[in-house]
Amino acid sequence: MEYARPATVEEACSLLALHGEGARVIAGGVALSILLKQRLVEPDILVDIEGIHSLRYISDDANELRIGALCKHREFEKNPLVRDKFPWLSRAAERIGCVQVRNAGTVGGSLCHADPASDLAPPLIAAGAEATLRNSQGERKVLLENFFIDYYQTSLSEDEILTEIRLPRLSARTGVSYEKYAMREGDMATIGAAALVTLDDDKQRCIEAGIVLGAVGPTPIRVKEAEEALRGRAVNESSLRKAAAAAMEASSPLSDSSGSEQYKREMVGVMTRRAVSRALQAAS
């Protein structure tokens, strides 16, 4: 196996274009090093992009938060800007693994690995985040919601890398929350549920809603039916119940050592309710 450490995005992209399927991008290596050790992935060349320092930033441009793909989870969690203006995102980042993992792992790496149990994807999707993908020819933007295709598969082509995540500034009276269920703190999510709620001027009715589940299907799942149960309505016990029921219906969890399909589906309901309730609190 060869190893390359490009210093620029251009250099990285041309390496990817050259080696095609045989190349794997590595950043923090949290997920990939396990797969390499288990020999589940045996690339011809490992393209280590951690040296591309230009992809490590967090900035607040007029109407959006811009996160460089190589930001460490820990930076993201501790960043004053994120903590201040996107506290829900900082809290979601806090739930990723342990401090050591958060010091190693990158935001972009986590998203590109596309484990459906990622803690960042559900809240970012709920808040309408967009991903910037680049190759030698140029760049394109894709809604994060459409970025994930299947288990561990994204819409990145072989010669592309994810360079940036852009998060639009949320409108007033908007709350976002991410709830995670795992048997142990620091585990991958068994259930992830993110909710976004925007209330109307007199804080009576929900005018915008976003519900996204993690870890209960091949990709993060946006539950439109759950959103509809909230949008345009007063958020009360009845609409909460409907949203939770819709989320349960939309989920397709698998039985494994973290729990049976049946239990996980029940927990989707509980986590969705909690996420919506917390988002509502934050919005009010």
Distance spanning both ends of the chain, measured CA to CA = 54
Please, which residue, 163 or 272, has the CB nearer to another protein?
A: 272
Token pair recorded at residue 275: 């996420």
62 binds another protein per the rule CB under 8 A: no
Please, which residue, 40 or 62, has the CB nearer to another protein?
A: 40
Which of 118, 159, 163, 122 has its CA nearest to residue 144? 122
20 binds another protein per the rule CB under 8 A: no
Smallest separation, CB 21 to another protein (Å)? 8
Sign of CA dihedral 83, 85, 89, 91: positive
Please, which residue, 249 or 266, has the CB nearer to another protein?
A: 266
263 binds another protein per the rule CB under 8 A: yes
Please, which residue, 10 or 150, has the CB nearer to another protein?
A: 150
Distance CA 225, CA 48 (A): 41
In the list 153, 157, 171, 204, the residue contacting another protein (rule: CB under 8 A) is 153
Classify 223 as helix, strand or coil. coil
Q: What angle do CA 128, 271, 265 make, to 5 degrees?
A: 105
Distance CA 56, CA 69 (A): 7
Which of 236, 102, 76 has its CA nearest to residue 167? 76
φ and ψ at residue 180, rounded to 5 degrees: -130, 135
255 binds another protein per the rule CB under 8 A: yes
183 binds another protein per the rule CB under 8 A: yes
Smallest separation, CB 185 to another protein (Å)? 4
38 binds another protein per the rule CB under 8 A: yes
237 binds another protein per the rule CB under 8 A: no
Which of 112, 115, 84 has its CA nearest to residue 97? 115
254 binds another protein per the rule CB under 8 A: yes
Structural contact between residues 93 and 77, judged by C-beta atoms closer than 8 angstroms:
yes
In the list 20, 87, 186, 232, the residue contacting another protein (rule: CB under 8 A) is 186
Site for another protein in 214-233 (CB under 8 A): 218
Instruction: Pick the stretch among 62-70, 137-145, 159-167, 251-259 that binds another protein (CB under 8 A).
Output: 251-259
Distance CA 110, CA 112 (A): 6
Number of residues that bind another protein (CB under 8 A): 31
160, exposed or middle or buried, with CB in 10 Å at 0-12, 13-18, 19+? buried
Instruction: Pick the stretch among 52-60, 139-147, 176-184, 196-204 that binds another protein (CB under 8 A).
Output: 176-184
Instruction: Pick the stretch among 2-10, 31-39, 52-60, 199-207 that binds another protein (CB under 8 A).
Output: 31-39
Site for another protein in 99-118 (CB under 8 A): 114
Residues lying near another protein in the complex (CB under 8 A) are found at 24, 34-35, 38-42, 114, 150-153, 181, 183-188, 218, 254-257, 259-260, 263, 266-267, 270
